[in-house]
Amino acid sequence: MKILIFIIIGIVGGIIGGMGMGGGTLLIPLLTLFTETEQHVAQAINLIAFIPMSAVALFIHAKNRLLDCKYLLTVALPAVAASIPASLLVKYVGGKSLSRYFGIFLMILGIYQLVSLIVVKVRKRKNQSNKDKISLYKSVYK
Amino acid sequence: MKKKAQTVVKVSGGLLIGFINGFFGGGGGMLCVPLLEKVLGEPTKKAHATAILIILPISVASAVTYLVNGYFSLAGTLSTGGGVIAGGAAGALLLKKLPPFVVGIIFALMMVGVGARLAFFS
């Protein structure tokens, strides 16, 4: 029964991740809230669960020439270097506190996504209405 | 942006992404995409693809560190990982069928709601 819940949560996280919207961030709290997985273990599950999917996505993106390898040295290398001490640090943070910090982090990400989605939408609408005006002028002053 | 300043932004962005992704076991992608797209001016598709290239090595390094510290669940990882593969394929297909704005708003609201639940009511 519990396995089934794990699979369903994985599917939900996978769908969100597959749409490029950060599935891992929702997968972790779903695990802690619905399967009573401990926060650290939920984070470990998330880290591993997305590796095969990311590898497949990476392969497809590489084929489509969408990868920019120039960021490997400047962004990915320092990121890997910072991730190891951070992963060691969690050992000294209790599951309850870690979960609370995670909640705050999730709220910030959610609010950021809300604002950026709305800003993009408004900007698009403005551009569209400007384009409509220009084509109207063009049709009048032909 | 000057080249030197840009390098500083990239390196410090990388450090932040790595730290967050290691500490929270995820979420680095949601920081990496805006860094590449909004700050460094990469086109949306390229930013999403390249973000995976950056996140994958971090996730592998963090996963190994978590494992060494004893944080692991075989049944949980296998069943969740299987779900992610199925869901990921479905998500990639759904992306062309669902309105991204509406879906994005729903996910964002879910994040705020779940985040508040964890931060204040646990």
| Pair (B16, B60) in one structural domain | yes
pLDDT above 70 (res B49): yes
Tell which residue, B1, B8, B54, B5, has the closest CA to residue B28: B54
Tell me, yes or no, whether B31 and B19 share the same domain.
Answer: yes
B101 and B66 belong to one structural domain: no
Same domain, B117 and B87: yes
DSSP string, B10-65: HHHHHHHHHHHHHHHSS-HHHHHHHIIIIIS---HHHHHHHHHHHHHHHHHHHHHH
- Tell me the percentage of chain B whose pLDDT exceeds 90: 81
B24 and B51 inside one domain: yes
Separation in Å, CA B110 to CA A16, A26, A35, B7: 12, 8, 18, 35
| The pLDDT of residue B36 is above 90 | yes
Q: Do B53 and B87 belong together in one domain?
A: no
B103: tokens are 């879906």
Residue B44 has pLDDT above 70, yes or no: yes
Statement to judge: residues B24 and B46 lie in one domain = yes
Let me know whether B80 and B63 are in one domain: no
Indicate if B5 and B61 belong to the same structural domain.
Answer: yes
My answer on whether B24 and B68 are in the same domain is yes
Number of domains chain B contains: 2
Please tell me if residue B46 touches chain A, with a CB cutoff of 8 Å. yes
Provide the shortest C-alpha distance from residue A20 to chain B (in Å): 7
| Predicted local distance difference test score (pLDDT) of residue A18 | 85
Residues of chain A with C-beta less than 8 angstroms from the C-beta of B67:
44
Whether B60 and B116 map to the same domain: the answer is: no
Same structural domain for residues B46 and B10?
yes
Q: Is residue B1's pLDDT more than 70?
A: no
| Backbone angles phi and psi of A139, in degrees to 5 | -70, -30
Residue B41's pLDDT band, with cuts at 50, 70 and 90, is very high
- Matching residue, tokens 């972790």: A28
Find the domain containing B93 and state its range: 74-122
Residue B113, min C-alpha distance to chain A (Å): 7
Q: Given an 8 Å threshold on Cβ–Cβ distance, is A99 in contact with B122?
A: yes
Residues of chain A with pLDDT under 50: none
- What is the rounded distance in angstroms from the CA atom of residue A22 to the CA atom of residue B107? 9
pLDDT of res. B100: 81
Q: What's the pLDDT tens digit per position in B81-119?
A: 999 999 999 988 888 888 888 888 999 999 999 999 999
The predicted-structure confidence for B59-70, as pLDDT tens digits, reads as follows 999 999 999 999
Instruction: Please choose, from the candidates B26, B55, B32, B84, the residue with its C-alpha nearest in 3D space to the C-alpha of residue A39.
Output: B26
B43 touches A: beta carbon within 8 Å: no
Six-digit token string for B16: 């932040």
Mean pLDDT, chain B, whole residue set: 93
Do residue B114 and residue A29 have CB atoms under 8 angstroms apart?
yes
